[in-house]
Amino acid sequence: MRAVVVRRFGGPEVLEQVEVPAPEPGPGQVRIRVAAAAVNPVDLATRSGALSSAGVVPPRAVLGLGWDVAGTVETAGGGFAEGAAVIGLRDRIGTPLGAYAEQIVLDASAVAPAPPGVSPAEAATLPLNALTAAQALDLVKTTGTVLVTGAAGAVGGYAVALARARKLRVVAVASEADEAEVRAFGADEFVPRGPALGDRVRALVPGGVDAALDPALLGLDALDAVRGGGEFVAFAAGAAPLPLRGIGVRHVWIRADGERLAELARLAGDGTLPLRVAGTRPLAEAAAAHERLAAGGLRGRLVLIP
């Protein structure tokens, strides 16, 4: 089968399409015929060597890329029948094969039925980003007001929609041009990104919000918008600010969770969660997809189609 891997770190040019044997599932695993695999910023950080330098990815001669997969089950197991349409998350970042491939083996506990009524490309945008948003919200105990930075992004958009579904008051931060879309996700208040964020949020929420989710990695600027003793969730290694004013600062570390992913798939199927595809490319154009993602300005995810 074909797969895209890296044997050395660098720019998009280091991505290699190789022929490898089809992976064989073990006990409690399923093999999935990949129909679509989303391209995420973590893939760029893996390819460049940034995650290895940070001690997140162990030294390996070959690294696979791709966390998100949508496809069909090839080998029945773990409660999934052959031919079932599924989505899944590969969260073991140091393995030699990822979702950038024609086939992938995942633990059945990392797999869920695909959301009904959507294309594989749309379904592939769900696992990593929606699970990250959901698991971040799980760290927040407030029932009041939550700030979401990067609210037009893949994680931020899901965070807004999920927070709204929990009946939280959502204050969203994004570019002015994205206000209408972010409000459509469910934001109650909108603050354009820019300087003095804390002051502008506090003008809407006197004393500050109860909690902040910071997928845009604004750090101290977002922390300043949180009331004393509130809650803050960071989304990247090294991005957590100091817990000033007694604010509880926590970090979300994504993990595969098939049961939770099934819940999110149902929410995507009924339209609660927005599935946004920025474009599709064949597997052989993975390098071009990396270049486009690095250029910025996308809304939604690029998706590779084997």
Which CATH code fits 2-128+273-305? 3.90.180.10
Which CATH code fits 140-251? 3.40.50.720
Query: In this predicted structure, what is the pLDDT of residue 181?
Result: 96
Query: In this predicted structure, what is the pLDDT of residue 195?
Result: 96
Query: In this predicted structure, what is the pLDDT of residue 54?
Result: 84
Series of mean pLDDT values for 10-residue runs along the chain (306 residues): 97 97 94 98 96 87 97 91 97 94 97 97 98 98 96 96 97 97 97 96 98 97 98 92 96 96 97 95 98 93 97
Q: In a 10 Å sphere around its CB, with 0-12 CB exposed, 13-18 middle and 19+ buried, how is residue 299 labelled?
A: middle
User: In this structure, are residues 211 and 142 in contact, taking their beta carbons and an 8 Å threshold?
Assistant: yes
The amino acid occupying position 259 is: E
Q: How far apart are CA 251 and CA 136, in angstroms?
A: 8
162-209, pLDDT tens digit by residue? 999 999 999 999 999 999 999 999 999 999 999 999 999 999 999 999
Query: In this predicted structure, what is the pLDDT of residue 237?
Result: 80
Strand partners, 29: 107
Query: In this predicted structure, what is the pLDDT of residue 239?
Result: 87
Structure tokens at 180: 């209408």
119-131, pLDDT tens digit by residue? 999 999 999 999 9
Query: In this predicted structure, what is the pLDDT of residue 78?
Result: 84
Query: In this predicted structure, what is the pLDDT of residue 170?
Result: 98
The domain limits of the chain are 2-128+273-305, 140-251
Q: How far apart are CA 201 and CA 180, in angstroms?
A: 18
Say whether 44 sits in a helix, a strand or coil: helix
Count the Cβ atoms, other than its own, within 10 Å of residue 83. Answer: 10
**Cα–Cα separations (whole angstroms), residue 50 to 42, 45, 298:** 10, 5, 22
